[in-house]
Amino acid sequence: MKPTDKPGVFITGIGQIKVEKSNEKSLRQMGAEAIRLAMHNAGIETADALYVGNMLSGMISHQQQLAPIVASEAGLNGIEAVTLEAACGSGGAALRNGFMSVMSGMCDTVVVCGLEKMSHHDKDFITQSIATASDWEIEGGKGESFVTLNSGLMRRYIDNYKISPDAFAGFGINAHANANKSDYALFHKVITLEDYLNAKFITDALRIYDASPICDGSAALVLSKYPPTNSKVPTVKITGSGAASEYVGIANRRDPLAAEGIQRSGAKAYQMAGITSNDVDFFELHDAYSVIAVLSLEAMGFAKQGEGWKLAMDNEISLAGKIPVSSFGGLKARGHPIGASGVYQAVEAYLQLTNQAGANQIQKEVKTGLIQSIGGTASSIITHVLMRD
């Protein structure tokens, strides 16, 4: 069965703005710009609904009701407009909501937008705001941040599998190498193994190159029940979608290194698309921290538990590797504008599958891509399978 014959939803347009340390435009202007680009790319003037992924606007911009405001700014006043929040997985949640709306038959065409602006507040306030995605009673409220929580996971992994902190180097090196080729990425700096090894430790085993930056960005795409009218590029369809959860507090989990929530989400997406990990050509994973990239590769079937780091060490995650990841820099180097990251992943996967990735094009034929958006330390997980005809 061809991908276009499988049940699913077509991607008919994409739009993205450059990820920046500080974007001078307002939150609504950033979202509207990405939406207009996607709609122009799709050749449409309106849609049935808009779903916006965002985590922090209520806390740091004093703006709830974000989706209707962005809709109006983009010229879509009056349509269904809803904001989705799943912490750092908010973009993936918006994409899944859009996917389900079209799959259910309730909408023919929807726009999905991921959006976050974090540059207008001091770093400490942003760090504390992001920490609300932890279990506040036992983590954030006790002084934990996502830096310390992920550092703890990394330390647990290092001690459990008896490896060096240096084993994570390949993820940051790969991400920066790919971001350096992309006009939309925040960082344009290639780092070497020596740079990684000499980088300062933020806390315990976690270096600065193991963590994603605070930044601003927005990306959007158009989903439709109908294939695109533009026959110049291959058709791309979302054929699988899966969501799952895990205890938010790491201490409550049976085995934090097993990443059971990621496994559950991935299994649902694989089953819906009718594939296994062997069919996946590339993986846009949620590399907000290197340890999450490792756990995702293992949980999704690309490496045995305790061996995901070897894929980076052996250069198998590069554009020429067995399972390319972070092909445009990922969250680490493209940047992680929280609510937008999951939508950037979808845009980037679409570019790969339609051979429009330019200098970032994966160096083999790609027909099936996997994207995964994660909230918290792998507590809200949304996975999608994209396939080209």
| 114 Cβ contact list (under 8 Å, min separation 6) | 52, 53, 54, 90, 91, 94, 217, 218, 219, 220, 337, 339, 340, 341, 342, 343, 344
Q: Which of 88, 107, 113, 215 is catalytic?
A: 88
Instruction: Tell me, yes or no, if 88 is annotated catalytic.
Output: yes
Bridge partners (DSSP) of residue 52 are 83, 113
Measured distance CA(363)–CA(314) in Å, rounded: 16
Residue of 113, 215, 286, 336 with catalytic role: 336
Please answer whether residues 223 and 11 qualify as being in contact, where contact means their C-beta atoms are separated by less than 8 angstroms. Answer: yes
Active site residue 107: no
Exposed/middle/buried for 164, CB within 10 Å: 0-12, 13-18, 19+? exposed
Query: Which stretches does DSSP call E strand in 296-379?
Result: 368-375
Spell out a b/e string for 15-34, using b for 16 or more CB atoms within 10 Å of the CB, else e. bbbebbeebeeebbbbbbbb
User: What's the CA dihedral at 282, 283, 288, 292 to 10 degrees?
Assistant: -120
Residue 309 near residue 349 (C-beta atoms within 8 A): no
- Compute the Cα dihedral for 252, 253, 255, 256 and give only its sign: negative
Known catalytic residues are 88, 336
